[in-house]
Amino acid sequence: MNYYYIIYKPYQVLSQFSFSEGKQTLADFFDVPKDVYPVGRLDYDSEGLLLLTNDRSLNNKLLNPAFEHEREYWVQVDGAINTAAIMQLQNGVTINIDGKKYHTKKCIASLFTIDPAVPERNPPIRFRKEIPAPWIKLILTEGKNRQVRKMTAQAGFPTLRLIRYRIEKLTIANMQPGDSMAMEQADLYEKLFSA
């Protein structure tokens, strides 16, 4: 039987169930059948949407770069990001992946005019009165290692907080860190793969 869960991975949690000395893992928050594992990953210091399943075919459908699924990230950056930097992100920036230069694909980047409603983070980001920490939205169709962080740093505005909000039509709307929601295959596939 195939199981499907969408979870809100908390900050400073590894995207794995296996034990890791001194670090929290998904096993500290989520009780799922033994053969269920995360599809893809979110970095230890990132939060948000992660899919858990034992449906092996889903892995290839979601992670194969040929399929270009939309992933939406909400990113809090260090400093008053300007239109030039947003345009730079949209057009792609050159980042380092495994020691090689890589130019990111065009993406959708925009500045939130009102900060998004997100759960408090524990510990919170470092607050500095004189330096703004606005939120931007990035919608990518690729997922290189630590790509969003590398992109915003390259544009001159390092990432302070990173939340994956959406994959295609699947979101963490109304979820809190540590929440999980079981889904039926038909519903999940419709949200991920219907045009």
Show Cβ contacts of residue 157 under 8 Å, excluding neighbours closer than 6 positions: 77, 78, 79, 81, 85
**Cα dihedral sign for 129, 131, 137, 140?**
negative
Whether 45 sits among the annotated catalytic residues: the reply is no
DSSP 67: G
CB 95 within 8 A of CB 154: yes
- Active-site option among 28, 31, 35, 43: 43
d(CA 149, CA 138): 11
User: What's the chain's length in residues?
Assistant: 195
Strands 47-53 and 159-167: parallel
Catalytic residues: 43
